[in-house]
Structure 1
């Protein structure tokens, strides 16, 4: 395979130590960085991807998992971009195992939120009959990031949002003291409020959410 070595080489050549330190600090020093800012990273990535398009298209899952095993965060971002593009309309049922692995590996909000909306959300659009089982399992997990993903997976659903399901998940986790859970509840409700503000307002008024969740949920409702 040529794609991954070429990508690592290009990122190494364009690394910036000062940026890397700042980026790592922003992520609570959970990850190492090459120090390449988003626009430049995407430019380099697109060039290397174009040069190795067939290799990536033929092996998106394997390449993405390998990139996700690397220590630099920029490579994790590239892994997700590959999957989002190549798996759209091409999911197989077994991909839920890949999605779950990505959620619980190198977990932080910057990747988990992308996975929840663009991978888990799209997967369950293709396999809607899997929704109850998958979301129940994620929501009941002891892994906080799986819980957050269960709350957020409908972010792009708009009028197709299953609000009863969203409400039940919010109710289940509303007493959580985890910042990322409280924030996710508010974010998911705020997003659906763009489609149905009255329903969200009514739910919040009787659900006794944590203050952070309530504030986020009602942020754009007048």
Structure 2
């Protein structure tokens, strides 16, 4: 299938209410993080169905989808890449997908696009590898989406009880200005704490006084009421 064919499949699933709502939800106004993004009005479960139906789409057409002005077309391309990646056995083929993905991070340009793809492509590729320098190149980028990809990719390691990188990245982003990064870091710290509470508590005891409040609130969500109160009242 071509980019145009896939766009038509998505357009057939358009919901007028969603088409009106989504631009507000994803902050597409002037000066907002999603400025200028366009929406067809398709919900994620339906985009997944289209992605699975077109999972053999090649890089050329996926690149066109990622360059498409419609958010759902870009999401569909990313979900196709996720489908392809999880079936691959060859490290060479996996690296090709990762390299392709990383060449388009400027088009993975909203939080949902990152969150639905980074862990399952970049994170899974790096899981078990000693060299995770890709994460820190992304973290050092000036592009917000690269930075969020770095943090969400670490979810793959967290699921394996490997917390080194999320702690390092969380410390790097303690003074980040954007709430999308505060939310991402807080979420990943919470996930780490669900698996090993001592890791979260150690991080909080060291940094809670300077953590942005959104980051702190996200990270302590699963703690007891008394623990939440302790950290919040001194933040």
Query: Taking structure 1 as reference, are residues 95 and 39 closer, same or farther at Cα in structure 2, changes over 3 Å only?
Result: closer
Superposed displacement of residue 175, structure 1? 1.1
Give secondary structure in 2 for the equivalent of 1:219. coil
Show the 5 A alignment for 1:48-67.
50=53, 56-57=55-56, 59-67=57-65
Superposed displacement of residue 16, structure 1? 4.1
The answer (yes or no) to whether the contact 1:61–1:83 under 8 Å persists in 2 is no
Give secondary structure in 2 for the equivalent of 1:162. coil
The answer (yes or no) to whether the contact 2:20–2:41 under 8 Å persists in 1 is yes
Residue equivalent to 2:142: 142
Residue equivalent to 2:180: 180
Superposed displacement of residue 101, structure 1? 2.7
Superposed displacement of residue 6, structure 1? 2.8
Superposed displacement of residue 173, structure 1? 1.2
- d(CA) in 2 for partners of 1:28 and 1:204? 31
- d(CA) in 1 for partners of 2:215 and 2:13? 40
Show the 5 A alignment for 1:89-100.
89-90=87-88, 91-100=93-102
Show the 5 A alignment for 1:55-204.
56-57=55-56, 59-90=57-88, 91-125=93-127, 128-131=129-132, 133-158=133-158, 160-204=160-204
Give secondary structure in 2 for the equivalent of 1:93. helix
Residue equivalent to 1:34: 40
RMSD (CA atoms): 2.3
What per-residue deviation string (whole Å, max 9, x for no partner) do you get for residues 182-221 of structure 1? Answer: 1111111001111101221121111242222122111102
Higher-helix-fraction structure: 1
Give secondary structure in 1 for the equivalent of 2:175. coil
Superposed displacement of residue 18, structure 1? 4.1
The answer (yes or no) to whether the contact 1:21–1:35 under 8 Å persists in 2 is yes
Structure 1: which 5+ residue stretches go unaligned?
none
- d(CA) in 2 for partners of 1:150 and 1:41? 24
Superposed displacement of residue 15, structure 1? 3.3
TM-score, with structure 1 as normaliser: 0.83
Show the 5 A alignment for 1:17-32.
17-29=16-28, 30=34, 31-32=37-38
Superposed displacement of residue 8, structure 1? 2.4
TM-score, with structure 2 as normaliser: 0.79
